[in-house]
Structure 1
Amino acid sequence: MVWPLDTRFALLLSISVAAAVLVDRLAKKRRGTSLPLPPGPKPLPVVGNVLSLDSKEPWNTYAEWGAVYGDLIYARFLNQDVIIINSEKIAKELLEKRSNNYSDRPFIATREPFGWTFNFGLTPYGDEWRLCRRLIHQTFRADASLSFRPMQIRKAHQLLNNLLDDPINYVAHFQTYGASIGMSTVYDYDAAPRDDPLVEIVNRALVLGIKVMTPERAVLLSAFPFLARLPSWFPGATIKRDAVLSCKYIAEMIERPYEYVQKSMAEGTAAPSLVSEILKRMEHEENDRVDQLEKALKQTSSTAFAAAAETTSSALLFFILAMVLNPDLQQRAHAEIDAVVDAGRLPNFDDRPSLPYIEGIVRETMRWQPVIPMGAPHATTNSDVYEGYFIPKGAMIIPNAWAMSRDESVYPNGSKFKPDRWLDEDGKLTNAEPPVFTFGFGRRICPGRYTADASIWAGIASILATFEFSKAKDAQGKDIDFVPTFSSGVGRHPDPFPCSIVPRSTRLSAEKLAQLIRTSA
């Protein structure tokens, strides 16, 4: 007997629905609860929701899901439970108020093959992480970070000098600025203003790992772990070849600056720094304790300066992009600086409270384009229940900072760069909380956030005091229009774009401004 097509379709649909119900019941039984998981897109067999992701910019996919399913979403990557948080409120409720259960890190398959075990920010929650956190807190806590301010201003002035001499290579100058601040705080290494060999090492070391250290990019290696064991010469073994290179560069990034401090200490020329202070302590420790401390110190120091190099330079690139796309905003910024800062000097941190519009630009830069759109993923230590939804033990928790930055209830017209959103009618800063989601949540919040904030402010204030930005012009004198493109991985930054960077000449002649910049640097 041959059943009619519509009957067969109805039968197939009924079987599919029954199978789905059975699978759901079995899953609930396995979880030991009848509570529902948070809503989310229907996962496919085996692969889950992996094929639905924008692999380059998954935060966009998560934001789109949020528009359909809400701010707390369940998805599955292969056999990994995933909870996406698109709301800052929910992120604080879970990752901060319940931090004892949400401070772990999930397994990221690319971490070890690419040599990123050095990054203690990705280390599972436990004694190893606590030791690293204690070491870094001593140097980067709020009051201790104040001691870096003279150095940060000096590095900002070196940045100005580089932009004055060679504006075309602005990307390299921002990379040098971020890396040199990180290396100064961690190793007391005074990087050369340009083409410093240790700065080049860190830039080279990070480029491969940043692209693959996200959970979404690591899925391929999770599904096919044999790819990491293929010989590097094997056809198509791109992952293996990149991993070998990454490990080589990372090892150099960790050891070379560390050896610099050891040599300086042996010669009696070392100044106080994170590494030198801990090395002095280690002289009085037992041998087994020394090994443990040295490992933690290398993890802490390399993580700190690598993070500073990547995030600071990316934030400044987004700032320049905002200025080029919104040239009208510069006039108000220039006017505020001119009213507060004397013509014969450059801004310093004492001026910060008197420059609310510049503060608005700093905050808006970090909100408008979060340099780490999803932060580092968290993981649950135990199962949990939130608002009637079940959150499984071992679930990967992704706080989608990108979606938080576009929350229309908090940031109306969120895709637009609007420093005024941080100011009241009198031009003073509002009581609104700065975009802290850019630094993470709970116990895993970025320990270097105070130093990073100060570095970004010093760079932005110094640049606005001395330069104007606009679109580059072609041979006929017409603006060169462009559509921004972005490179992404763990972090995100704009690709190089055509722009004009010229000295301001409102209060000082070009010659006197150049002299001020050079003498300050």
Structure 2
Amino acid sequence: MFGSDFYLPLAGVFLAAYSIASWFPRKKRNPGGLPLPPGPSPLPIVGNVLGLNAEAPWLSYTEWGAVYGDLVYSRLLNQEIIIINSEKVARDLLDKRSYNYSDRPAIVTLTNDFFGWSFNSVLIPYSDRWRLHRRLFHQAFRSEASLAYHPMQIRKARELVSNLLEDPENYAAHLQTHSASIIMSVLYGYETAARDDPLVAIVDRAVTLAVGAIRPEVAAFLGAFPFLQHIPAWFPGASLKRTALLSQKYAHEMIEAPFKYVQQSMASGTAAPSMVVDALKKITGNDPSGNVEMAIKESSVTAFAAASETTASTLLIFILAMLLHPKVQERAQAEIDAVVGTDKLPDFEDRQSLPYVEAVLREVLRWHPAVPLSIPHATTKSDIYEGQFIPQGATIITNTWAMTRNAAKYGNPEEFLPERFLDADGELTDDTASFTFGFGRRVCVGRYIADASVWSAMVSMLALFTITKCKDERGNDIDVNPKWTAGVTSHPTAFRCRFTPRTPGMTSEKLAEML
């Protein structure tokens, strides 16, 4: 889970575990003696840690759900975990009882800023500070406001396909730049370079490190053994401490660099409209404590980090899906050709006339959700659900992965089948796979912008390219056996593919004329 060099010097930790067992917080039990949700039997001290797939915990939770049901109890060291494997249960609890399920776990790695990410709006507790962040987000990201970004998103999608035409081998880097460039424009009015943008590099570096490190399993481990946070970085095996120090440095750079850009552009009178610019103008002279300015800084960089990572991950999943399912790609392209033609690229005005493309997008979200476990919630008070007791302060994990594998709703769930989102007449169903964006008051605030960003990039790539497998020296297809990253987000690791222009002789000059 943490790497072998982290485990070796800790061989004696578990031997000494009973001597520090008194550190474990005592949970308030229910006076009625109601049962906890069923789950795997925990071992003394370590709980269910050893039975957890650390690289893909959502798989373990889904397996537990098949045995124990939609609501599963487990324990990771001293932390009680309630896993929700059903969309119905998630809506019953996180939506209908959001007043009790909108907090975040008291993660030791965040409350003491061990990784440098305590600023993150997604992770801070349910509080006045969080509500201030949420208000700032709402002004820029609500559904009505998101419509104003459509022209910019189409322009960025055109830049993406231009980069793919010129340099297809570095497609993953282009996707990252594309995703970051959209949110940078929304938040800071910043225009990224087509490639190797310095601000994008700063954020990518910080997010990549944090995504793999800030996980519930890591937090539970450090919560049970807090002294490990104070081990010197030079100590043999203290790789997590070294990672934390590096993460603190990267996070500070990620927070300050784009904000300074806005301050400088406002001072010079060249600032473009953006969330940060608009928010700063509203507080001029009315923020003596500096709390609102700090909230603007924190909320904007949170959106920057979250959106650039998840949008790029979703587009990587889309490319892999098209590579592995050429018939789906052909059908989507045929629909685009019939509705839009071949002499121009689709626009948002065409979206309602492209139901199969829309179904492909929904199936990408379902087939491999970029955030398989969402972000953990926590209970403010104890609760009872269908006769089962949910403790106060329990970590609530929404297993989005299990919801996408609901065979009763999605037959043959492992198959990539966009048709599942179409009715017998070829019209879209009411299922938008919205649960992949979370539930309750903690639902993803940027979902409208993310949806439009993914659609515009996806439909542009489909219109211009055919995505295929690479060939070996004998002209045979090189098989792709996808492997997936671990952490808060999950996407396929690097794989080879070809972006072949659908129009013979397509060049950068011809593409520029088409655009």
Report if TM-score (shorter chain) is over 0.5.
Answer: yes
Pairing of 1:53-452 with structure 2 (within 5 A) = 53-111=52-110, 112-288=113-289, 291-431=290-430, 433-452=431-450
Q: Look up the SS of the partner of 2:98 in the other structure.
A: coil
Q: Give the conservation status (yes or no) of the 8 Å contact 1:110–1:212.
A: no
Q: Look up the SS of the partner of 1:42 in the other structure.
A: coil
Deviation at 1:518, TM superposition (A): 2.8
**The one of 450, 456, 459 aligned to 1:458:** 456
Task: Give the letter aligned to residue 82 of structure 2.
Answer: I
Q: Look up the SS of the partner of 2:491 in the other structure.
A: strand
CA distance 1:29–1:219, change in 2 (3 Å): closer
CA distance 1:304–1:520, change in 2 (3 Å): farther
Deviation at 1:516, TM superposition (A): 4.6
1:104-143 alpha-carbon deviations (Å, 9 max, x no partner): 0002233321111121110100101000000111000000
| Structure with max Cα Rg | 1
Q: Give the conservation status (yes or no) of the 8 Å contact 1:108–1:214.
A: no
Deviation at 1:44, TM superposition (A): 1.0
* Alignment partners' CA distance in 2, 1:515 and 1:428: 38
1:463-486 alpha-carbon deviations (Å, 9 max, x no partner): 000000111111111111131101
* Alignment partners' CA distance in 1, 2:280 and 2:66: 51
Q: Look up the SS of the partner of 2:118 in the other structure.
A: helix
Q: Give the conservation status (yes or no) of the 8 Å contact 1:154–1:520.
A: no
Moved more, 231-240 or 357-366: 231-240
Deviation at 1:61, TM superposition (A): 0.4
Task: Give the letter aligned to residue 400 of structure 2.
Answer: A
Moved more, 402-411 or 205-214: 205-214
Consecutive unaligned residues in structure 1, runs of 5 or more: 1-26
Task: Give the letter aligned to residue 33 of structure 2.
Answer: S
Moved more, 464-473 or 221-230: 221-230
Q: Give the conservation status (yes or no) of the 8 Å contact 2:367–2:416.
A: yes
Deviation at 1:225, TM superposition (A): 1.8
Deviation at 1:520, TM superposition (A): 6.2
Q: Give the conservation status (yes or no) of the 8 Å contact 1:160–1:517.
A: no
Deviation at 1:517, TM superposition (A): 2.8
Task: Give the letter aligned to residue 170 of structure 2.
Answer: N
Q: Give the conservation status (yes or no) of the 8 Å contact 1:41–1:49.
A: yes
2:9 alignment partner in structure 1: none
1:510 alignment partner in structure 2: 505
1:10-49 alpha-carbon deviations (Å, 9 max, x no partner): xxxxxxxxxxxxxxxxx99843221101111111111111
* Alignment partners' CA distance in 1, 2:307 and 2:28: 46
Q: Give the conservation status (yes or no) of the 8 Å contact 1:118–1:298.
A: no
CA distance 1:150–1:385, change in 2 (3 Å): same
1:476 alignment partner in structure 2: 474
Task: Give the letter aligned to residue 462 of structure 1.
Answer: S
CA distance 1:224–1:205, change in 2 (3 Å): same
Identity among equivalent positions (%) equals 57
Q: Look up the SS of the partner of 1:182 in the other structure.
A: helix
Q: Give the conservation status (yes or no) of the 8 Å contact 2:343–2:514.
A: no
1:348-403 alpha-carbon deviations (Å, 9 max, x no partner): 10000000000000000011010000000000001111001011111110010000
* Alignment partners' CA distance in 2, 1:180 and 1:428: 33
Q: Look up the SS of the partner of 1:100 in the other structure.
A: helix
CA distance 1:518–1:217, change in 2 (3 Å): farther
Q: Give the conservation status (yes or no) of the 8 Å contact 1:374–1:402.
A: yes
* Alignment partners' CA distance in 1, 2:152 and 2:158: 10
What is the TM-score when the length of structure 1 is the normalising length? 0.92
CA distance 1:28–1:232, change in 2 (3 Å): closer
* Alignment partners' CA distance in 2, 1:228 and 1:28: 24
Q: Give the conservation status (yes or no) of the 8 Å contact 2:79–2:220.
A: no
Deviation at 1:514, TM superposition (A): 4.2
* Alignment partners' CA distance in 2, 1:174 and 1:287: 41
Deviation at 1:299, TM superposition (A): 1.2
Deviation at 1:286, TM superposition (A): 4.0
Moved more, 152-161 or 206-215: 206-215
RMSD (Å) for aligned C-alpha atoms: 1.4
Count of residues paired in the alignment: 488
Deviation at 1:179, TM superposition (A): 0.7
1:17 alignment partner in structure 2: none
CA distance 1:129–1:172, change in 2 (3 Å): same
Consecutive unaligned residues in structure 2, runs of 5 or more: 1-25
* Alignment partners' CA distance in 2, 1:303 and 1:29: 34
Task: Give the letter aligned to residue 77 of structure 2.
Answer: L
Deviation at 1:51, TM superposition (A): 1.3
CA distance 1:29–1:201, change in 2 (3 Å): closer
Task: Give the letter aligned to residue 491 of structure 2.
Answer: H
1:18 alignment partner in structure 2: none
Deviation at 1:218, TM superposition (A): 2.2
Q: Look up the SS of the partner of 2:273 in the other structure.
A: coil
Q: Look up the SS of the partner of 2:99 in the other structure.
A: coil
CA distance 1:438–1:520, change in 2 (3 Å): farther
Task: Give the letter aligned to residue 229 of structure 2.
Answer: A
CA distance 1:237–1:519, change in 2 (3 Å): farther
2:10 alignment partner in structure 1: none
1:496 alignment partner in structure 2: 494
* Alignment partners' CA distance in 1, 2:341 and 2:31: 68
